[in-house]
Amino acid sequence: MSTLRVIILGAAAGGGLPQWNCGCAFCNAARAGDIPASTQSSIAVSADGERWAIINASPDIRLQLAAQPALHPTGPRVSPIGSVLVTNGDIDHVAGLLTLREKQAYDLFATAEIHRVIAENPIFNALDPAFVDRKAVDLETPFELVPGVRATLFAVPGKVPLYMEGETVQTDLEGEQTVGVALTAGGKAAYYIPGCAKMTPALAERLTGAALVFFDGTVWEDTEMVTAGLGKKTGARMGHMAMAGDQGSIAAFAPLKVGRKVFVHINNSNPAIDPRTDARRQIEAAGWSVAEDGMEFTL
């Protein structure tokens, strides 16, 4: 029987840790080696350890693939990567597609809306259609992501990418612009949701009793970036739930009886990235793990 294998290629939100232009305490600690550095949000999944899919093509993808022997080429221009899936059109999830332009055959999965966003930017014409097959996927419709792994996309509350924002921004849109992924292999399922604006009753019902969930951990507190002087936007304005508080993800997951809960897509402002903080202690006491690059999970 096949086994679902998941590797965290990148645990950080956009900008990574350390972020190139940030001298905050956490970025400086990562530069000094006092806490783990992280590349930008991405995972790899496989059922047999030989054929792999990438979920979200981070700007750091070249370094991420180099760090994982299972994803190394097996011959001249021969890669074990058979497909790429993107969960939204954010820069930190699609910019890495430009690195994957070197005449390598793979399937590019996304919703029709996300494909539209990619198609409207001519720079992505660098993906040669003779090699990259762009496949539109309907929500709630299972498909083979890579041999042995079935995937199902489902809507989660979110917003359009930053570069598509207008004067008015709705941060809890539900449709094809932001999706979560259910991954199944060998009769077992995991969920990958790197961006989510709030917990809805439908999402809570879907995740109840799940064996493994990777969930949006962008910010610890909604106002942390403003408080730290790192930006003017709250987590909610960016389309992300906070971890802490009565309306946060830790509280939302408490009654769901999820087997293993892992925070991903963690911003450099978030104290969860530092194992020495009280926030990390609270997270772990609530039964959560905080993702780091290179972590591996199996079901």
Report the half-sphere exposure of 289 (CA within 13 A, side-chain side): 16
Average pLDDT score over residue span 273-277:
96
Buried/exposed 261-280: b ≥16 CB within 10 Å, e otherwise: bbbbbbbbbbbbbbeebebb
Q: Is 123 among the domain residues? A: yes
What is the 8-class DSSP label of residue 48?
S
Write down the pLDDT at residue 1.
Answer: 58
Q: For 224-291, give the DSSP string.
A: HHHHTTS-S--TTTTT--BSSSTTSHHHHHTTS--SEEEEESB-TT-GGGSTTSHHHHHHHHTTEEE-
Q: Is 299 among the domain residues? A: no
Rounded distance between C-alpha atoms, residue 299 and residue 282, angstroms: 26
Given a cut of 70, is residue 159 above it in pLDDT? yes
Write down the pLDDT at residue 50.
Answer: 96
Write down the pLDDT at residue 288.
Answer: 98
Q: Is 186 among the domain residues? A: yes
Write down the pLDDT at residue 2.
Answer: 75
CB of 16 closer than 8 Å to CB of 38: yes
Write down the pLDDT at residue 18.
Answer: 98
Q: List pLDDT tens digits, range 97-137.
A: 999 999 999 999 999 999 999 999 999 999 999 999 999 99
Q: Is 104 among the domain residues? A: yes
**Token pair recorded at residue 206:** 């879907």
Q: What is the mean pLDDT of the chain?
A: 96
What is the spatial order of strands in the sheet that 132-136 belongs to? 132-136, 106-110, 81-85, 52-55, 42-46, 5-10, 296-298
CB of 114 closer than 8 Å to CB of 124: no
CATH number for the domain harbouring residue 228: 3.60.15.10
Percent pLDDT > 90 in the chain is 96
Query: Which residues sit opposite 45 in a β-bridge?
Result: 6, 53
Q: Is 287 among the domain residues? A: yes
Q: List pLDDT tens digits, range 245-259.
A: 999 999 999 999 999
Rounded distance between C-alpha atoms, residue 220 and residue 51, angstroms: 35
Q: What is the CA radius of gyration of the chain?
A: 18
**Token pair recorded at residue 113:** 């809306």
Domain ranges, residue 103: 5-294
CB neighbours (10 Å) of residue 154? Answer: 17
Q: List pLDDT tens digits, range 207-247.
A: 999 999 999 999 999 999 999 889 999 999 999 999 999 99
- Domain count across the chain: 1
Write down the pLDDT at residue 23.
Answer: 96
Q: List pLDDT tens digits, range 27-84.
A: 999 999 999 999 999 999 999 999 999 999 999 999 999 999 999 999 999 999 999 9
